[in-house]
Amino acid sequence: PNLNLIERLWKFVKKQCLYSKYYSEFKDFKNAITNCLNQTDTAYKEELDSLLTLRFQRFEKAQVVAV
């Protein structure tokens, strides 16, 4: 899942909108997610630029162990 960019975005949205928050009505829940997604290129741009990158950790001299 961490290699999939949409999974990383959804994890970020959940953190911003859902963690420790309760929405008494579905429309409030939906609005919170919509507002978060609408701010991805403004308020959250810097944080998401580092999160949604295709640069992965590489191991130059790693040994593969057969299981």
- Whether the model pTM is above 0.85: no
Residue 33 pLDDT > 90:
yes
DSSP code of residue 44 = T
The CA distance from 52 to 41, in Å, is 12
Identity at 12, one-letter amino acid code: F
Q: Look at residue 29 and tell me whether its pLDDT is greater than 90.
A: yes
Q: Are 48 and 40 in contact (CB under 8 A)?
A: yes
If pLDDT is split at 50, 70 and 90, which confidence band does 22 have?
very high
Measuring CA to CA, which residue among 1, 26, 31 is closest to residue 16?
31
Mean residue pLDDT of the chain comes to 85
* DSSP tally for the chain: helices H, then strands E: 3, 0
pLDDT at res. 56: 65
Domain map of the chain by residue range? 5-51
Give the pLDDT score at 5.
Answer: 83
Is residue 52 within 8 Å of 5, Cβ to Cβ? yes
